[in-house]
């Protein structure tokens, strides 16, 4: 099947790679090169770099709905459009008469929006997954054409779940395309009563408070790792929390955030154990190793620190 692929972020890479082996990807449409790094050098999107390696033609329009771009895409002669983390909305003139599908990283209608993986974890969901939908005027509101479900591991971070869901994408997209080609592709309308929004994260979200239940603290840290990250201050120094586990859900202590005798951190209620931490400019290490190197004593307090105030990579 002849396709045009629209994408920019890493999430779509496994699917593009697989589509290139099993279908005819005539063209890849991605965002323009943007400044990146300390030198602000123009850098292509991950999808643009992959398409170049796959020897697929790439265009990088500032506005995909410009009439000249619409004509170019029509002239590609594709039978279908596949859209994954593209970053621009496809307008009606471009979509008229086209079979266009979008891969979204949630079980729609829950978690429509920019950060579905993060918010599913922050909110303590036990399951998440992927949805392939038709494109609609409203964000992520199209008919559901297929879904895949997976359990969220209590020890995985949002970055790890992102990569795992990305690897699940090709099978689901290919199955939807197979059903379309076979002429049997059921559409399921989303129940608007169940719709929730997963807003874009900002650096200001990177704060963790220990006056919350231990399970909420763990979910918050994992849901914001690797970006923007959750940073605390301990002994007057910033420390990023990378991975934690619940040590106790019910224990009550007088001072949330206090380092306990076993080096767990008191919550309200419960306690969490810090499994991996990172100092500014340093490598990840266990909290035990950090405590040994910084002379951290029981009773010291972990206090919230805004992520924007430090530059741990």
For 159-213, what is the HEC assignment? HHHHHHHHHHHHHHHHHHHHHHHHCCCCCECCCHHHCCEECCCCHHHCECCCCCC
The CB-based long-range contact list for 91-96 (8 Å cut-off, 24+ gap) reads 91/64, 91/65, 92/137, 93/65, 93/67, 94/64, 94/65, 94/70, 95/135
- Site of tokens 């990088």: 60
**3-state SS class at 261:** coil
- 203-241 confidence digits (pLDDT tens): 999 999 999 999 999 999 999 999 999 999 999 999 999
Whole-number pLDDT of residue 182? 97
pLDDT at 312 over 50: no
Q: Quick one: pLDDT band at residue 270, thresholds 50, 70, 90?
A: very high
pLDDT reading at 54 higher than 80: yes
**Quick one: average pLDDT of 128-155?**
96
* Average pLDDT of the segment spanning 45-66: 98
Tell me: the pLDDT tens digits for 300-311?
999 988 654 444
Give me the mean pLDDT over the 21-44 stretch.
93
Mean pLDDT of the chain: 95
Taking residues 99-121, report their average pLDDT.
Answer: 98
Going from the C-alpha of 2 to that of each of 65, 80, 197, 208, 253, the distances in angstroms are 21, 7, 33, 47, 62
Q: How far apart are CA 145 and CA 159, in angstroms?
A: 26
How confident is residue 254, by pLDDT bands cut at 50, 70 and 90?
Answer: confident
Instruction: State the pLDDT at residue 277.
Output: 98
C-alpha 45/C-alpha 116 separation (Å) is 21
Instruction: For residue 11, give the nearest of 77, 122, 144, 102 by alpha carbon.
Output: 102
Which of the pair, 308 or 110, is modelled with greater confidence? 110
Please give the pLDDT value at position 251.
83
End-to-end CA distance of the chain: 42
Rounded-to-integer distance, Cα 250 and Cα 266, Å: 11
- pLDDT of residue 313 exceeding 60, the answer is no
Distance, in Å, from the CA atom of 5 to the CA atom of 246, rounded to the nearest integer, reads 42
In tens, the pLDDT along 271-288 reads 999 999 999 999 999 999
Dump pLDDT digits (tens) for 69-106.
999 999 999 999 999 999 999 999 999 999 999 999 99
In this prediction the pTM is: 0.94
Coil/strand/helix, residue 104: strand
């Amino acid at each position: 099947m002849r396709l045009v692929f629209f994408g920019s972020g890493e999430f779509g890479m496994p699917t593009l790679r697989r589509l290139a082996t099993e279908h005819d990807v005539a063209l890849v449409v991605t965002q323009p090169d943007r400044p990146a790094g300390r030198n602000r050098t123009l850098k292509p999107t991950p999808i643009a770099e992959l398409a170049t390696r796959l020897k697929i033609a790439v265009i990088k329009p500032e506005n995909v709905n410009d009439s000249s771009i619409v004509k170019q895409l029509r002239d590609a002669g594709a039978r279908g459009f596949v859209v994954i983390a593209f970053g621009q909305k496809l307008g009606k003139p471009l979509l008229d008469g086209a079979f266009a599908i979008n891969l979204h990283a949630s079980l729609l209608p829950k978690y429509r929006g920019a950060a579905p993986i993060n918010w599913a974890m922050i909110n303590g969901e036990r399951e998440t997954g992927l949805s392939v939908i038709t494109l609609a005027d409203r964000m992520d509101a199209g008919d559901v054409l297929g879904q895949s479900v997976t359990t969220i591991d209590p020890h995985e971070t949002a970055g790890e779940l992102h990569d795992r869901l990305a690897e699940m994408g090709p099978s689901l997209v290919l199955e939807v395309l197979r059903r379309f080609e076979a002429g049997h592709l059921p559409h399921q309308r989303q129940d608007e009563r169940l719709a929730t929004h997963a807003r874009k994260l900002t650096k200001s979200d990177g704060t963790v408070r220990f006056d919350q239940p231990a399970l909420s603290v763990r979910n918050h840290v994992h849901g914001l790792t690797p970006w923007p990250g959750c940073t605390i201050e301990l002994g007057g120094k910033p420390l990023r929390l990378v991975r934690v586990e619940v040590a106790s859900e019910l224990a009550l202590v007088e001072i949330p955030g206090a380092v306990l005798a076993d080096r767990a951190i008191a919550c309200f209620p419960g306690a969490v154990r810090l499994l991996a931490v990172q100092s500014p400019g340093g490598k990840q290490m266990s909290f035990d190793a950090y405590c040994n190197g910084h002379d951290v004593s029981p009773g010291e307090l972990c206090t919230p620190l805004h992520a924007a105030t430090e530059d741990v990579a």
